[in-house]
Amino acid sequence: MFNYFLGIHSDNEKEQTAAFEKGREAGKIASKLQPEKPDGYFWYGANLGELSRKSPITVGLQSVDDIQEAMNKVIELQPNFQGASAYDALAQVELATRINGGKAENAVKYLEKGVQVENDNSNLHVHLAEAYLAVNRDKDARAQLEYVLKMTPNPEYLPEHRDAVAAAQKLLATKF
């Protein structure tokens, strides 16, 4: 978890990559040591996902199946783990791989399910709005973004909520 947050918040490219690589490896080890817990699978998939974003050709295309497998295992073990973020990760894979078979409609399904499981995850709502925009459901997208602005944030995820609010405000300003 710490490597992921270090990578997300670092401005240094090398530090980001090193943090995500360490996080990926730590997650892989944790999932082998405690296969009945979602933690290792989730952090393996999350760090691999960020490495894939950084290098979509060299890492991303090769990692899609591994990310999906890890996140599906998280959902199998504990669907609400980390605010149901495994659904978010699966949706992001669908959106990021649209030229290679990913579908925005599948992203919508994952995110709608995630919101059902954990409605107080503001990132799920912002990403659902983005997915709705991708399938031309603008009214639904706007409703999700407005919901984020009215949400009472989960105290455990205040920094993430602030980022989601900023993203919602930006989307409202640019898309509507």
Measuring CA to CA, which residue among 83, 132, 70 is closest to residue 107? 132
Task: Give yes or no for residue 57 having a pLDDT over 60.
Answer: no
What is the reported pLDDT for 26? 96
Average pLDDT over residues 118-122: 95
Residue ranges covered by each domain of the chain: 1-78, 81-176
Band of the pLDDT at 4, cuts 50, 70, 90? confident
What is the reported pLDDT for 111? 98
Band of the pLDDT at 101, cuts 50, 70, 90? confident
List the end-to-end C-alpha distance of the chain, in Å, as a whole number: 35
- Model confidence pLDDT, tens digit, residues 140-167: 999 999 999 999 998 988 999 999 999 9
> What percentage of the chain has pLDDT greater than the value 90?
81
What DSSP designation does 101 have?
T
Residues 6+ away with beta carbon under 8 Å from 120: 83, 151, 152, 153, 154
Return the number of other C-beta atoms located less than 10 Å from residue 78's C-beta: 18
Mean pLDDT estimate for the chain: 93
Contact assessment for residue 15 and residue 54, using Cβ atoms and an 8 Å cutoff: no
Average pLDDT over residues 80-109: 94
Residue 66: strand, helix, or coil = helix
What is the reported pLDDT for 94? 95
**What distances in angstroms separate CA 139 from CA 63, 82, 174, one per listed residue?**
34, 28, 14
> What is 81-176's CATH topology?
1.25.40
Q: Left if phi > 0, otherwise alpha if psi is -120 to 50, otherwise beta: which for 12? A: beta
Task: Give yes or no for residue 80 having a pLDDT over 90.
Answer: yes
What is the reported pLDDT for 133? 98
- Model confidence pLDDT, tens digit, residues 20-46: 999 999 999 999 999 999 999 999 999
Contact assessment for residue 104 and residue 131, using Cβ atoms and an 8 Å cutoff: yes
Average pLDDT over residues 116-126: 96
Measuring CA to CA, which residue among 64, 87, 62 is closest to residue 74? 87
